[in-house]
Structures are given as C-alpha cells and as structure tokens.
Structure 1
C-alpha cells in the first residue's frame, strides 16, 4: 500500500510540473487593495521594478496584471514593493505607519491577518469587492430612488498629463435642486454634503476650471471627481459586501461564511449557523435530548474535523452537545472545506474541516449586544466586549446565556417535551498581544455550564428521577478550556514564521435516560509547533512541525466502565508548489504514533488550477484516521429500550476493542464566475468520494438492539452538488443548489443505504439588502425521502414504513438597522413556515419503559412553525 501511495504522488507530481511555465517571461494577476485613481497611480508605480515590463491595476476588480522577466525579478518582490507603498497584497500587508499616511480616499478595507480572509466590521456598505463605473460609459447599475436623507461623501482630485493625481481643496459643491447651501472640499479634496429628499444633481465649481453638474445615481457610493484639462468629470466607486464567498487564493476549496451571512437567520449558536448554506446539514440526533450533529458529504459530523481558530473544537465526549456551546454572535467567520485538508491541522479530517474564527479583541466592536426570544419559550442574551489597552495589548470578553423554560412544548402531542428545558451559559475571556516587531500572541480561557432536563412534560427531577412512573432525562455538563497561540514573523522575511498552538481542557458530563445512567469525563492536552518558509522564492513553500494530543477518558455506562488513556505524537511536512498565480499544488505527509494502535501514515494532496479567467478547478485526495467514542457519539441509543451487547466490547483494551476508523477521500470541484446581464454570477460543481478501509458500524437494523462492530466489507459515500449564484437586480442576491448523496454500508444483513439520510436535497436562498437599513432574507429547502431502520420485527402497532416522506421547509427574516452608523438593528423572522414536523417522532411513546420505546427514528423537524424577534446593538 505504501508503494502504491508513493507511485501516485510521483506520477501526479511529474504530470503537473513537467514543462509548466518554463519560460522566463511570465504574466501574473493578483489582488491589490485600493480604492481610486490615486491608488492606481501609486500601485502601478511601486510595481515597476527592474525586470517588470508592465503593471496595470484594474479599479473594478482590484487586481493587477504584471508582465515580468522571471529571471530578473520574483513575484514576491513585486508584491512586497506594492505593500511597502501602502497597499495590501496576498503575500504582504502594508506597514501600518504607511497605510495611516494614505489619502482619505485611499483608505481601503485591510486584508485579514492570514491574507485569505477579511476583517469584517458589520457595515453593509463596505467589503473587499469593488466596482467602478464611469459616468460616461453608462455602466452604473446601482440606480435607486432619491427619497431619503443621507450624507454624500466624495473626493476631488486633479490628474495631470503624467497621470499623477493630487487632491484639490476649496472646490464648491452644492445641489442643483432644493436649498442652495454649499460645502467645500477639505485639504485632502474630501467633501461631505447632506442629501435632502428629491435631490439628484450636484454642481461642482472651482476657479479656473469648467464646472460640471453630476447626477448622483446611488446615494451610498463614493463620488470621485477628476479634474483633467481644466474640466471636472465624475467616476463612481461603489462597494458591495459579500456575505459568503469562495476563497480564490487557497489550494483547498474553502467556502467562507461571514458574520453578515450568519445574520440572515436567528443564529443563536453554531448548530444554527448553517441554515443559509447547502454544504452542511444540521440534524437532530433524536426526539428528546435536543442534541444536534452536522453532516458533510452525507457522513456524520464525527468525520468532519471541527476546529476553533485551528485549535481542536468540541471533540470526543463533547461532540454530541458541542455545537450548542459556541454562540453565533461570537463568530467572525466560518470556513467550510470539503474533502481532505492540510496535514498541519492533524490526521482526523475524513470528510472535511469546519474552522470557526471568533471575534478578536483587537479588531472587533467595542461592544456588541444581542437579545433573542421566540414563541417556544427560548431566550438568548449575548454580550461581547473588547478593549484596546495600549498599542500592544487588547482584551475581549464574550458571553452567552440561553434559557429554555417552556416545559409543555410538545408539537406531536405525545406527552414528551420536544426540547429539554434549562439553562446554558458559556463565556470566553481572551487577550491579544502584538509588539509590531513580529511577535503575536493570543491566549484565553473558555467556560461552559449546561444544565437541562427533558422527557415527559410532567417529569420532575427531584420527584421522578430513578423511578418508572414518569420518564425523564437530564444533562449536567461542565467544560473549561485554556488556549494559547504564539507566533513570530521574521521582520526581514514575512514569509518565514514559527508558531506554537496550545490548548488544555476538561469536560464532565453527568446524565441519565430513564433508568440508564451515563457519566463521562475527558481531559485533553494539545500542542502543535509549525515552522514555515520558502525555498528560494514563493514558487516553493513548505511547512514542517510536530504535534501531540493527549486524552484521558473516564466513562461509566450502566455500571460498565470504559476508561482509557490515548496519546498521539507525530511529525508532519507540507510542500506547496506555486509556479504561477494560476496553479498551486500541496503535498503533505504525517507520521504519527498512537499509544493504542501504533504507527500510521497520513498522505494528502491538494491542487488548484485556473485554466482561464473566472475558472478554478481543484483536486484533493488523502487519508484520514480517527478513534471512535462509540457511546458519547451515539448517546441517543440510551434514550430507547434497545439493548447493548457489552460482551462484544472489551474493557481497558484499545478503544472498546475496536480498530481505528480509516478512510480515503477524493474530490474534484469546478467553480466558474461570469457576468450575467452585467452582474456577477457563478456556477459550482463538486464531486467527492469517501471510501472506508475500516469503520465502526452502528447497526440499527434490529429494532430491539444496537450492534456495534468493525466493518466487514465496503462502506462509502458519493456526493454530487451543483450551485448557481447570480444577482437578478442591484442589492439582490440569489443562490440555488441541488445535492445528490449515495451513502452505502455493508451490514451483517447486507449492503444498505445509510439510514435517516436524504438522497436528494434542493436549496434556494434569496437576500435583498437596501442601504436604508432594510434586509430581507428567505431560504427554501426541499428534502427527499430517507430510509428508516427496519422495524419489521416489532408488533404491527410499532412498525414504521421503509421510507419517510419528503418535506419542504421555509425560513424568512426581515431586519431594519437604524442610526447614522446603522448600529441598532431590530429583526423578526420565522422558521419552518410550512409547519412541517414529524407526527410520530417517538415509537411507543405511551410505554417509555416498555421494550419498544425508541426516540432515534427522527427523520424530519421535531417542532413546527416558529416565530422570533430580537435586537442587536454595537459600538465600534
């Protein structure tokens, strides 16, 4: 097998690198941040180093095309020169002292710390995507009514014969209609003038120049007025914010959901953060515990590596209830990467990685408050605080409190609470340090307390726990975590850095399900050391490092003890080959030692290719391995009368006496961006295949028992997804998608489709945003039939059909922002507007202590139509 892996890597490397871009003359296109004509002049001048034939920066898409001699100048040197002039590039960030001296008009939105994501301030009027429309070419598609008050901002500059731009002060600006009050441009050429209802035309005049009258087509665009040959004329620069996008610079396909995307729905916690994307499914595990799981590529969430700022997220025993522990208002962005990922982040990734970036104290709002309530008795309160202490230190506090006290919520009228009641509190205190000389450090502490009670609506814990009169269940969970990230970027070479990631946590769970008790505790330690640099030029980059994971598990289930200690230590190396802006290939290899299973190897390959403008093709393949925590990850088993065969499991030997799970994932994605009716559009197609070499099979096909055993045969998943994105009108975004899943496993009774997984899913998301502060969002989902585990061995009264019904859900939200800074928002919305919910979510609900009781056969929503409202307020 190892020889086979080596041959694949050698063949792929040879095919992809032979004779590619061997000539010395090269052309590259990359993003450079900027706003206006002054930026254009500055950027192009900085780029023209010795060996550069031409450099043209496009004000519309903020990309520069450079023709250069590869033997005389390196692309990294060109990007570095542009950054030193004050403009961020993908590889280099402009020094703060240079950026702060730029003209007011040139103050663009900075690229993020990693140069692949962007910092977001929650303002709908700003983003990294820019469109420039000249008045004379008639390409302005952003016309809107002039019936509201607003402040118009603009700048007046003079362009000489050498295309140099200088600001003009004391230019008179007034409205042609209405009051004749006028303003003048300041020393930087910038002016601000109040717009009254009905005003459409601005008049510009300056001594010695021919005046001009300009029609204001969009009240929220920045007007750039050029004076050339003593004539004033207009250029309009507008900005549109994308709430979700595909990271064009990463070799691995990453879908980025920004905070603005999360605001499209009532995103109270991470489990509710994927309602407006088709890539991730979030489903309830059962009909009574309220626990949820994500599904990626048709596989359970345990096969998706969940990280928080590239540190381990809720894992192991914390997996079932971990999605509820991260508040939506804490999130700055979510990166969704399907298929295999980087070896730097570990070996457990089998279906993809979801990385959650939280708000950082040095670049987030000083205060953010959110309050939410719905008609089902749920209330959420969030408070984020951030304070910059001095030039080096910043501190932040993120708080989340969730209350659920409607003890009688029971849509199916079966006498059981649809959602447990109780309280969940979580908080983070984090610190950020940066000395401006290359050292960056982040550290903090997280805390979670989750205390909930479920079961029959009249269950009282103090009275009924441990008895057979009334069925009840409950959780008492506590988690504390400390984390630190320390990095150093070498000042003389910003491409060389070293970083150390550290985390330690303790998770305790005391729970009961009727007469069954389940108690667990996990102590985890994690360390990851990473060094990265280039070999000669940015064509050859590499990362090397070492990692260690320590887990101490204590687990008691129905008087059976399954304690173990598992440590995994390893080394990794990753090489990136980037001969041009159009091609990247990443080869990664890990070698790890597991204290229970010995040595194992993790090879991975990812490639990105742009064959022509707007088109990106990506390919990935690699291996993943993980250890199953069979009880914690399938805790819903306990909320049933199904028996567990403990005799087949081995105490204190490996992990339950089962082999580790191993799979190979291969995928290809194609993204094509284009203009449709003059507006940005795109199509994406994804195909992934996951093949298990070994899997811990959870067999539900006998309604009286749950069997757990190692795979004997084949298990695989195939996922095909197609998505279409376009803008039917200004400020109106639409996304439509279809997904097909084929997930099959060899059980003891033969090959079967994975139960409770829909083969077909359709998705539509519509978003309409107005600069007046109104936002309208609508999401439509159609979910196909799901195969149900066999119940044929039950009496006819407790038998279900082989397949569930298909169903449709609709969610909608309307929000309105107020104030000059749009910092106060009121939102109202509804979920599951079709009121579609499963009528029989619990089998044998009338006999909860009988032999046919089962809460695990949940295929649809458990609750019906729900309405909510809330407020948001922030201070930047």
Structure 2
C-alpha cells in the first residue's frame, strides 16, 4: 500500500484539473469509413477550435458554457454535435455531392501509432489494406514494420506471423475483441479472414488488458470486420495472379429496420488449380487449394444505449500439396507420389451485447463465441485427424467512480470450454479444458496527458490449477511532442502440442512428445517513446520501443538433438526474446507518405542443454514503404522493400559432429531482400489494381531436403527461412457502392 501511495505522490505534480473534449472524425465515401484529417472543429459562435490530426483524432479545451461543436471540411456536409459530457465522441461526415471539385488538404496515412492508448498500439485502417492485395489477414502485414509473415513449411501453404520475434502462437488473435483462431485454427487461421472483409486491424505489443484473458504474451492482434450498419451497400472484389490463384469476395449490407436493425452477408471463394514447380524439384511450390466461406452478421442498435450483434461463419478449406501429380483421390502409399492433403471444416458463431446507462457512467457488455473445427489430413504415409469444440464467454461491467471519469473500474468474469480430440500414430489424444476466471482493472486518468492502468485476473484451470495474471500500463504525454509508455505483465498459454506443430509431419522423422498439453508461462516488459514534430509543415513521427519476454516455462521444438525424432519438450530452462525497433513516419512532399523502420531481434532458447539462437529467426528486419497518391486520389503508387537479416538453420548434432568441416557456417542463412509494388487506379465506384510481389524473384534454394526421395530418411520440408514462391504478378478489381 505504501508503494501505491508513493506512486500517486510522485505523479501528483503532473495532474491537471483542466477539462477537455476529444474524439475522432471519419469520412464516409467510396472507400468506406475512413479517418478524416484536417477537419475544422470549432465551438459554435466562437473562433476557438482545432483541426483533426492525420488519424482523424482531435482534442480541445471545453468551458462550462460550451456545448455545441461544429465540424466542417471542404467537400463534406458540416455537422453540429451537442457535447454533454467528456467522453470521446465519434463524428462521421458525409460527402457533399453538390461540390464538383474537392481539394485534399491531408491524406490518410493508413497506419498510425496511437498516442492516447496506454498500450503500445498500431492501427491499420482500410486505406493501408489497399496498399497490397491483402487476400487474407496473413497478407495484410506486408507493409507493416512490427509483424513478420512467413511460411511454416514448403508443402502446406500455412503462414505464420511473428510479433516481437516470437511465433504467432504467443500473440493473442482476436476478432472484434473476442479471442478466436486458436487451437486447430492456429496453423491456417490467419488465412480464414479474407482481407476484403476487414475494416481495420489493431496490433498491440506486450502485455494486453486482463479483460481479454491471460493468453497474450508477446501482444495482441485484433481484426475488426465490416459492420452491417456501415454505409457500404455493396462491395465486390475479384483477384487473379500468374500462379493460377483466383479469388472472389463480396459483401452487402441490408437495412432491415432503418438504422435500428441491419444485416450483412459476406462471401469468399478462392481456387488454385495450376501446378507450379519453378525450381524443378518435383514438388509444388504452393499447394492446390479450394476455399469457400460465407458469413451472416446482424446488428441491433436502439440508439438509446443498447446494442446487440450476432453472426455465424461457415468455412471449408481443402489443400493438396506435395509432389507434382499428387491428387486428392489417391491412396497414400509408396507406389503413389508423396502427397499432403489437409481438409478443414469450421463453424464459428458469436453474440455480443451491451448497454450504457443514460448518464454514460456505467455499462455492461456480454461477449460470447462458439467454434467447431474438424481437420482430416495426411502427410505422406502419416494420418492426422482432429476435432475441437470451443466456447468463450465473458461479462464486463464498467463503472466511472467519479463524475469526471478520472477513476474507472472494469470488472467481470469469463469462462473457457475447450474439448480437443486428436489422432496421430494410432494414438488418441483427448482433453477438455474448463477455465472460469475473474478479473478487475483500474484506470486512473486525471487528464489527457496521463494514464495509469493496472489489472489482475485469477483463473481456475481444471488441468493446471489456479493462477494469477497481473498487468500494468503507464502512459505520459508531455511537452506537446512526447509520449512515454511502459508496461509489465504476465501471460499464460495452453500449448496444443501436436496441432500447433502438425506441419512438422512433413518430415521423415516422426514427432515425439512427452506431454499432450502443457502450460507456457512468461513475463513481458516494454518501454516505448513516441515523438511528434512538424517538419516542413508536415507531421513527423519517430517511435522507439524495446520489449523483452522472459519464459518461465516453454514448449521447445527440438529438431537437433535426435536424428530419429522431432522432439516436443516442455522446458523450464532459459528462454527469452528481446526486440528493439525504430521507425519514422513522414510526408517529405505533398501526398507522398514514407515509412522507415528497423528492428533488431535477439531470441534465444535452451536446446539440448545449450542456450543458443532460436532457429529460422532473422536477426533483424528493415522496411521502407513509400506511398504516393495523385491529386483527388485518381492514382495510388506503392513500393515496399523488406530487408531480412540472416539467422541459424537447425542441424542435427550427430550429423554435424561427423562432418569434416567443424565450423557451423553451413548452418546459417544469409540476409535477403524482398520488394513489392502496386499501382491502383480509382474511379467513382470502383478501382483496379496491378501489383507484383517478390519483384526480384528471390527464393530459398533447395527448400525441401531430400526432395528426390520423399519417403527416405533425409526428407524434410520444414527448414524454411525465406520465400518458396518467386515473382508473383496479380491483377484485381474492387467495386464499392454506398447508401446515399
């Protein structure tokens, strides 16, 4: 208690009693709902006001007799809003169709760092998603400096992300703030959310809020889908590339009862039936695939503080990889080509509702999710089948402890039910998790410059017993240009030992595990410093951040100490990840956005009793992204360069010791560079885009070991550190029609 009193005493000189109002302004035009910069925000009848920032946010002082805010911007209808409290407000401006010519003052960068959120968060808007094809969530991070995307192996087409240098399993994936895409969905889940369905993405680093659970260790990725009550009446997207991949996406919103009851229908279909083997190793560069997905969402809003949403998504994903000539109807045998066939069927449903009191000081929210996932697959001669039934539910009560909302308390309860069944090597692996939990989080925000958030949750696991998860975040904005953040927190994660590593079955060595399920535990510490300046009358943002993750227990994927097995072992030995990142965002000339970023990774874990660099992890990553838009946004040009550092290739100790060359140089891969570019032409209701990925046609040489004898002892398709696909040229068209 003395420590908390001392902390408040230290912070007291920075506390101000000044009152202000803040919010965000959006546009609603042919590109959908987007943050709108440069909007004039003025108190009615005065000249006191401000202009919205590049992310659409604004804040200004409020006197006791000021209640009416006027929002105006060239080309949009002005709007007057009554302000009755200090809660952040959201304003959507509609285009003024009577104006023939509009002058764009500032363009939307598409991605920005929040200086308001106490958690280090990067927001990716729809404008950023237009910079690349973004066929699915996994491909939405090509221009992002924080998230790395790569293939997990050379035959299944599974993509994995890395945040803070750690595999995506250590980042909590959410869909509209509900934990999702875990368990059997871990391997391919990032491809289950079509990019055209996305409204925005939020990437937060380090310990997340305890409200969302205990599983976030490295960070959190939240995908916001398009809402049924948005102004988008019809959206269509078609895509094709030179590798034979074709996609269709469509969604429509229907106003059943005006703005009170709305529904949205979403459709996705993709197909890759062309056999590609550019390196002539006898294996497909990417698997043949057929995917179909349909979703229906409903939203009810009584515009009096009550809201409810519900939806269901059906998915079927069928992949066929392996040697050229392998097909879905063949029987796995030595007489047939080596094949990898994976069929996933998934049903996902959600319901959430909330109600806010009339005085806006209390609120209750209910969030639930149900998923049923079935997998049937074989890798060569090995069969792996699994099914999972999962339910998540939580209730959150929010209470302002005072009229000015300086002290806010969020409390609630959650429950997880997860029934898991797997069959591998004729072994039946079954488990059922039941995890009720309680949580509370206190937020202290005396003014717009300071936020202290501290939370704790207790969970009661039927397998791992009881455990406590504490987390803390602190934000301080000072001198108008600087924002400082620090965070610390603990995270736990249920490691699904087999399903999360099922891609390792594309290997001549079988998987060996000692525990069917285990709990991983880690601490995460972070510090970030954001600086905002005006350089040549344009905003310059400089971000510096450092995060460290210390594991107390970890599942180690050991492919090095045994020449007979791939080992999956629980470990309490030393393992950690350090991530240091610098990035600069600026507009050197009008309508040209520039992003420069550089990140250094230091990731180590104990393998076979020796602390060493984690295998297949790049030592660094550099990124240059340039985006230029012509006047009135008729054309858009994007160019991205990724500089990927070298790293360590895993090697079997016994084989290495028997080599004549005792140096480990052969077990390192070299740095490499990837370039992507895209041109987009905009029309009133549609746009057409032409792009190229991997412009220099760089690929990892010999991605598959023992490709000439896939049923032999030296076969492995899992030592992937670089691209397995060469230059890819694509063409797409988007059509968008909004309600008047």
Partner of 2:346: 479
d(CA) in 2 for partners of 1:117, 1:635: 46
d(CA) in 2 for partners of 1:487, 1:25: 31
Partner of 1:163: none
d(CA) in 1 for partners of 2:420, 2:510: 23
Partner of 2:649: 788
Partner of 1:718: 578
d(CA) in 1 for partners of 2:17, 2:283: 72
d(CA) in 2 for partners of 1:742, 1:426: 39
Compute the displacement of 1:748 (Å).
1.9
Residues 395, 27 of structure 1: alpha-carbon distance in 2 compared, 3 angstrom cutoff: closer
Contact 1:791 1:800 in 2 (8 A): no
Considering only CA atoms, is the larger Rg found in Structure 1 or Structure 2? 1
d(CA) in 1 for partners of 2:205, 2:127: 22
Partner of 1:816: 681
d(CA) in 1 for partners of 2:82, 2:388: 41
Partner of 2:702: 840
Say whether residues 1:248 and 2:142 are aligned partners: no
Considering fraction of residues, name the structure with more strand.
2
d(CA) in 1 for partners of 2:241, 2:58: 45
Contact 1:527 1:548 in 2 (8 A): yes
Contact 2:351 2:368 in 1 (8 A): yes
**Which residues of 2 match residues 399-418 of structure 1 at below 5 A?**
399-407=267-275, 409-418=276-285
SS in 2 for 1:261: helix
Contact 2:16 2:446 in 1 (8 A): no
Compute the displacement of 1:33 (Å).
5.3
The farther-off stretch of 699-708 and 766-775 is 699-708
SS in 1 for 2:211: helix
Say whether residues 1:85 and 2:68 are aligned partners: yes
Compute the displacement of 1:701 (Å).
1.3
Cα offsets for 1:278-302 (capped at 9, x unmatched): 1000110001010011100011100
Report the aligned-residue RMSD. 2.9
**Which residues of 2 match residues 227-246 of structure 1 at below 5 A?**
238-246=105-113
Partner of 1:689: 548
Partner of 2:44: 42
Contact 2:172 2:217 in 1 (8 A): yes
Task: State TM-score, norm by structure 1.
Answer: 0.77
d(CA) in 1 for partners of 2:190, 2:41: 44
Partner of 1:160: none
Cα offsets for 1:308-363 (capped at 9, x unmatched): 00112210111001111100000000000010000000000000000000000101
Compute the displacement of 1:404 (Å).
0.6
**Which residues of 2 match residues 147-226 of structure 1 at below 5 A?**
192=99, 220-221=103-104
Compute the displacement of 1:613 (Å).
0.6
Compute the displacement of 1:239 (Å).
4.5
Residues 797, 366 of structure 1: alpha-carbon distance in 2 compared, 3 angstrom cutoff: farther
Contact 2:43 2:70 in 1 (8 A): no
Partner of 1:873: 735
Say whether residues 1:765 and 2:610 are aligned partners: no
Which fold has the larger relative contact order, with Cα–Cα distance below 8 Å and residues 6 or more apart in sequence? 2
**Which residues of 2 match residues 346-385 of structure 1 at below 5 A?**
346-385=213-252
**Which residues of 2 match residues 444-593 of structure 1 at below 5 A?**
444-491=311-358, 493-536=359-402, 537-593=404-460
Contact 1:33 1:87 in 2 (8 A): no
Partner of 1:830: 692
Compute the displacement of 1:764 (Å).
0.3
Residues 37, 666 of structure 1: alpha-carbon distance in 2 compared, 3 angstrom cutoff: closer
Residues 15, 325 of structure 1: alpha-carbon distance in 2 compared, 3 angstrom cutoff: same
Compute the displacement of 1:792 (Å).
5.3
Partner of 1:664: 523
Cα offsets for 1:577-607 (capped at 9, x unmatched): 0111100010100011001011000000011
Partner of 1:279: 146
Partner of 1:679: 538
**Which residues of 2 match residues 616-627 of structure 1 at below 5 A?**
616-627=483-494
Partner of 1:736: 596
Task: State TM-score, norm by structure 2.
Answer: 0.91
d(CA) in 1 for partners of 2:492, 2:38: 50
Contact 1:684 1:722 in 2 (8 A): yes
Partner of 1:204: none
Partner of 2:667: 802
d(CA) in 2 for partners of 1:510, 1:633: 15
Residues 542, 87 of structure 1: alpha-carbon distance in 2 compared, 3 angstrom cutoff: farther
Say whether residues 1:637 and 2:637 are aligned partners: no
SS in 1 for 2:330: helix
d(CA) in 1 for partners of 2:526, 2:654: 40
Partner of 1:849: 711
d(CA) in 1 for partners of 2:691, 2:448: 43
d(CA) in 2 for partners of 1:504, 1:599: 24
d(CA) in 2 for partners of 1:553, 1:714: 30
Partner of 2:29: none
d(CA) in 1 for partners of 2:231, 2:251: 9
Partner of 1:158: none
Residues 109, 282 of structure 1: alpha-carbon distance in 2 compared, 3 angstrom cutoff: farther
Compute the displacement of 1:15 (Å).
2.3
Runs of at least 5 residues in structure 1 that lack an aligned partner in the other structure:
1-6, 46-55, 69-77, 89-98, 127-152, 154-189, 196-218, 222-237, 650-655
Compute the displacement of 1:509 (Å).
0.1
Partner of 1:341: 208
d(CA) in 1 for partners of 2:580, 2:569: 29
Contact 1:768 1:775 in 2 (8 A): yes
Contact 1:25 1:67 in 2 (8 A): no
Contact 1:550 1:568 in 2 (8 A): yes
Cα offsets for 1:117-174 (capped at 9, x unmatched): 97999x9xx9xxxxxxxxxxxxxxxxxxxxxxxxxx7xxxxxxxxxxxxxxxxxxxxx
**Which residues of 2 match residues 59-70 of structure 1 at below 5 A?**
59=51, 61=53, 63-66=58-61
Contact 1:712 1:746 in 2 (8 A): no
Contact 2:458 2:468 in 1 (8 A): yes
Residues 449, 26 of structure 1: alpha-carbon distance in 2 compared, 3 angstrom cutoff: same
d(CA) in 2 for partners of 1:304, 1:693: 17
Partner of 1:201: none
The farther-off stretch of 244-253 and 841-850 is 244-253
SS in 2 for 1:260: helix
Contact 1:451 1:475 in 2 (8 A): yes
Say whether residues 1:699 and 2:699 are aligned partners: no
Partner of 1:181: none
d(CA) in 2 for partners of 1:681, 1:442: 39
Compute the displacement of 1:390 (Å).
1.7
d(CA) in 2 for partners of 1:780, 1:530: 43
d(CA) in 1 for partners of 2:89, 2:585: 20
Contact 1:468 1:849 in 2 (8 A): no
Say whether residues 1:424 and 2:416 are aligned partners: no
Compute the displacement of 1:793 (Å).
3.5
Partner of 1:708: 568
Residues 335, 553 of structure 1: alpha-carbon distance in 2 compared, 3 angstrom cutoff: same
Cα offsets for 1:716-748 (capped at 9, x unmatched): 000000001111110100000000000011122
Compute the displacement of 1:464 (Å).
4.3
Contact 2:354 2:364 in 1 (8 A): yes
Residues 450, 464 of structure 1: alpha-carbon distance in 2 compared, 3 angstrom cutoff: same
Say whether residues 1:398 and 2:259 are aligned partners: no
Compute the displacement of 1:801 (Å).
1.9
Say whether residues 1:858 and 2:720 are aligned partners: yes
Contact 2:40 2:50 in 1 (8 A): no
d(CA) in 1 for partners of 2:222, 2:183: 17
